[in-house]
Amino acid sequence: MRILFISPASEEVLAMGWKKSWFASYCVRKTLFNYSKLTLGSLASALPPGHEVILHDESLGPVRTDMDVDLVGISVLTSTAPRAYHLADEFKRHGRKVIFGGIHATLMPDEALEHCDSVVLGEAEPVMHSVVEDASKGCLKRVYGPSEPFNLGMLKPPRRNLLKFSGIGNVEAVQTSRGCMGFCEFCSVSSFYKHVYRTRPIDSLIDEIMSIPSRNIVFVDDNFTAVKEHAYQVAEKMAETKKRWFCFVDSNSALDRRLMRMLYRGGCRGVSIGFESINENSLIEVEKFRARAKHYREALKNLEKEGLLTVVCFIFGFDSDDKNIFKNTLDFCFDNRVPVASFNVLVPYPGTPLFKRLEKEGRILTRDWSRYIWYRAVYEPKQMSSRELEEGMFWAREKFFSNGRILERFCRALKFSMSFKESFIFLSFLAGYRFRTNLVRQMLRDENRFFCTNFVPQAQLNF
């Protein structure tokens, strides 16, 4: 069989494209951890031998729906669902069989089945042999799975050679664990994996990493330090590989200086950490019980002392947030010299407890899934309007990534024992956030949506 796997484009990619200047395109790509190479490559490696496989990442360009293939597999996220449905309808119009998988298809299977022949619920690896065998016989089931949690000891390395590179520099994505043990109200990962967390055997993980030519790795685990013993073991083995890597950690782990020191000695040079909010009430509200805003300053100091560049993620729009939250968060970032901050609007993904609560309260504004993305408010906040939430988020981004602030962080990076080359990459990363924010704002202006360029939070600005 000839099998095509697709990662559809989001609204942001479709609207912006990559037709901007070379420098803008380069910088924007620096801000994108593109997982399609991992997702699609893993699907390809899970297939039985004897089939021709084609992988297509739409961030590199649109896919042709008249391709001569026998089976089409589409990985569906919430923000890419409308695009996935359109592609599936077109492929089916050309007589192709289409299967869906991914978080959105798993959490919204009845909707997905309106556009495809089959849906894979949960992890795809355990059922791919059955899917392909049934497709070759012309007897696809409507639903496959969910299966028991996949044994990660059986995970095969992704077929990375089948997909052109897209995303941050020369960085390859690797997974050391799956799942999350948390119960955050807004998290779709917990809903997808049913709060089950598993780790990969260290030996097979290192074998995969040693087979990757690139020296740069990003571990895409939702929380690399969820089990500290596992994090220690991986870091210890990574030291032997001489590779540099980036990972995602939680705020409690960052309080453990010994662990952070071990990550650095193992080759880690940067982490992304989800603070979500500096408002303690917001963290309690969404059941992020392990995080405590009062410990954030200590966590940032530990990361800086251990030489780890930090990307801090914030979410605006919790019920406890009023219009002061934008300025208060910026003040926190400036006071604590946060290197990179990612400001996002709260997204109530379907299938999560948050979506169910907001829907019950009549606060969901749209079910256009393409709008379920970091810059759109798709629900009515409690203490501001949805427009004010969007404007406040953009205001915070523009203030944080102003030219002066970017230059200041670049100079600090040079003092942070970074080489000039590393500092330039960091500079392009910061510029990428600015370009990306500006491009999205322009896209929204083109929709004739009003955006206040002089938005002032409720509190008096003081920079």
Check residues 214 and 77 and name the one with the higher pLDDT. 77
CB 346 within 8 A of CB 318: yes
* pLDDT bucket at 462, cuts 50 / 70 / 90: very low
Residue 408 has pLDDT above 80, yes or no: yes
Residue 362 has pLDDT above 80, yes or no: yes
Return the pLDDT at 460.
42
Stretch 257-263: mean pLDDT, rounded?
Answer: 97
Return the pLDDT at 443.
81
> How would you write the chain as a 3-class SS string?
CEEEEEECCCHHHHHHCCCCCHHHHHHHHHCCCCCHHHHHHHHHHCCCCCCEEEEEEHHHCCCCCCCCCCEEEEECCCCCHHHHHHHHHHHHHCCCEEEEECHHHHHCHHHHCCCCCEEECCCCHHHHHHHHHHHHHCCCCCEECCCCCCCHHHCCCCCHHHCCCCCCCCEEEECCEECCCCCCCCCHHHHHHCCCCEECCHHHHHHHHHCCCCCEEEECCCCCCCCHHHHHHHHHHHHHHCCEEEEEECHHHHCCHHHHHHHHHCCEEEEEEEEECCCHHHHHHCCCCCCCHHHHHHHHHHHHHCCCEEEEEEEECCCCCCCHHHHHHHHHHHHCCCCEEEEEECCCCCCCHHHHHHHHCCCECCCCHHHCCCCCCCECCCCCCHHHHHHHHHHHHHHHCCHHHHHHHHHHHHHCCCCHHHHHHHHHHHHHHHHHHHHHHHHHHHCCCCCCCCCCCCCCCCC
Check residues 258 and 16 and name the one with the higher pLDDT. 258
Question: Per-domain residue ranges for the chain?
Answer: 2-144, 170-446
* pLDDT bucket at 417, cuts 50 / 70 / 90: low
Return the pLDDT at 200.
96
Under CATH, what is the fold of the domain 2-144? Answer: Rossmann fold (3.40.50)
* pLDDT bucket at 430, cuts 50 / 70 / 90: confident
Q: By C-alpha distance, which of 97, 286, 333 is closest to 190? A: 286
Residue 38 has pLDDT above 90, yes or no: no
Stretch 101-116: mean pLDDT, rounded?
Answer: 97
* pLDDT bucket at 294, cuts 50 / 70 / 90: confident
Residue 455 has pLDDT above 80, yes or no: no
Return the pLDDT at 449.
56
Residue 461 has pLDDT above 50, yes or no: no
Return the pLDDT at 288.
60
The CATH number for 170-446, chosen from 3.90.1200.10, 3.30.565.10, 3.80.30.20, 3.10.20.30, is: 3.80.30.20
Check residues 429 and 325 and name the one with the higher pLDDT. 325
Q: What percent of the chain has pLDDT over 70?
A: 88
Mind listing the pLDDT tens digit for each residue in 304-317?
999 999 999 999 99
Q: What percent of the chain has pLDDT over 90?
A: 67
* pLDDT bucket at 416, cuts 50 / 70 / 90: low
* pLDDT bucket at 29, cuts 50 / 70 / 90: low
Return the pLDDT at 181.
82
Stretch 193-204: mean pLDDT, rounded?
Answer: 92
Return the pLDDT at 86.
98
Return the pLDDT at 27.
53
Mind listing the pLDDT tens digit for each residue in 3-22?
999 999 888 777 666 555 55
* pLDDT bucket at 412, cuts 50 / 70 / 90: confident
pTM of the prediction?
0.90
Residue 34 has pLDDT above 70, yes or no: no
Averaged confidence pLDDT in the chain? 88
Return the pLDDT at 433.
83
